[in-house]
Each structure stands twice: as C-alpha cells, then as structure tokens.
Amino acid sequence: MAFNHNDHYHRLLLRQVPPEAQRGLDVGCGTGLFARRLAARGLDVDAVDPSEEVIAAAPAIDGVRFVQADITAMPLPKGRYDFISCLASLHHMPFGTVSGLREALAPGGVLAVLGCYRGSSWSDHLVSAAAVPVNAAARLALSGRPAASPVQAPVATASMTLDEVRSQAADLLPGAGIRRLLFWRYLLVHRN
C-alpha cells in the first residue's frame, strides 16, 4: 500500500529545518527516504538505524552517511547538528534518549520528532475515529502506486500516551512544542 503515515508528514517535517542548516541526523532512518530528502535540501546527513536489513536496502546517495547502530549506545558529538529528526522511531527507545539528541544540537538547531503514542483518552479515540475514513480514502486513492521501498522497517507498539510524552518533554525539552496530528502521530519540535 503506497499510503504511509510517516512519509505523509515529510513536508511538514522539512518545514522545521532551519534555513541555514548544514548538518543533519536522522534517527531510526529505516531505508532512508527522509534522509535522502534532507540531503536533497543540501544537508550533510548521518542516518542511523540498528537494523542490518534496512541499512542494506537503503540506496546510497551523496550527502547521506548510513550508519548501522543503536542511537542509545552511540556517543553523539555535542553541538554538531543543525537538524535532528526521529520519524516513528522514538517509541522504540527510552524517551530519555532525547536528552542526548538535544545536546547534539548546534546553537539554533532543531530536534523534530514525528512520534507515535498509545491512545487512551476520549480525545485520542475521537481523533482516531476521524482518521479512519480519511486513511481509507487516502489508501484507496494511492492504491496503484508502488511502496517507496520493498523492505519494511521494524515497527513497535507505542507504550507512552500523549499526556506522558508531554510530561516527559516538559522535563527534558523545556519549551518544546507538541501537537497532535491526524494519523496517530504527534509532532514535537524543540529549538536549541
């Protein structure tokens, strides 16, 4: 099925990239579609994922350095990146991982998380119910199109609710903006 909730939000995420950004880090890059889009914007990108399969399937391109690694075990250079993205990957790791990512931001740098959360409240269920028919229509409209990659990146079920994400972000990323998106995702943006 060509409609992918993460890919759908690429344009929104690209709008968070600071205009003068030069160095990017994509955490949990999968087969690298978003990292390649960052490179197309002129960023020099480190794209990290522990899955051997997705890194092997990621097409090589100038401007993207694919690294097979667990970000939580990687020493990250402090103050290096102008833009750090995590697309549907933060819930695979402890939320506290954002502290290391924050420290890796250059002055003026942006951390953008497209996050998955566990639905629990009435508003979660209401938004989910609204998303179902839109999702079905989008899938139908794109049903003839091929998927971006034949290799599926590992997935995991989110354990944190949106309220828990907000609460932990308030401690670890003070000032970060978080907003709920339609397709079972949130957008967190933290500016250094």
Q: Could you give the strand order of the β-sheet that contains 23-27, starting from the edge strand earlier in sequence? A: 64-68, 44-49, 23-27, 81-87, 105-116, 185-191, 177-181
Query: CA of 87: how far to CAs of 123, 129, 130, in Å?
Result: 23, 23, 22
Answer yes or no whether residue 16 interacts with ligand SAM by CB under 6 A. no
- Binders of ligand SAM among 153-192, rule CB under 6 A? 153-155
Q: Cα–Cα distance between 89 and 84 in angstroms, integer?
A: 12
Contact between 43 and ligand SAM per CB under 6 A: no
The residue at minimum Cβ distance from ligand SAM is 28
Stretch that binds ligand SAM, among 17-25, 56-64, 83-91, 135-143 (CB under 6 A): 83-91
CA 187/CA 168 separation, integer angstroms = 14
Question: Per-residue x/- marks for ligand SAM, 122-151, CB under 6 A?
Answer: ------------------------------
Q: Nearer Cβ to ligand SAM, position 131 or 151?
A: 151
Q: Using DSSP, state whether 102 is helix, strand or coil.
A: helix
Nearer to ligand SAM, 69 or 170 (CB): 69
29 forms part of the interface with ligand SAM (CB under 6 A): yes
Binds ligand SAM (CB under 6 A): choice among 64, 87, 105, 112: 87
Task: Confirm or reject binding of residue 92 to ligand SAM (CB under 6 A).
Answer: yes
Question: How far apart are alpha carbons 192 and 185 in whole angstroms?
Answer: 23
Report d(CA 116, CA 121) in Å as an integer. Answer: 15
Q: Residue 125 and residue 75: Cα distance in Å, rounded? A: 39
Smallest gap from Cβ 122 to ligand SAM, in A, equals: 27
Give whole-number Cα distances, 40 to 22, 24, 32, in Å. Answer: 12, 12, 12
Residues 46-65 binding ligand SAM (CB under 6 A) are 48-51, 54
* Site residues, ligand SAM (CB under 6 A): 6, 27-30, 34, 48-51, 54, 70-72, 87-89, 92-93, 153-155
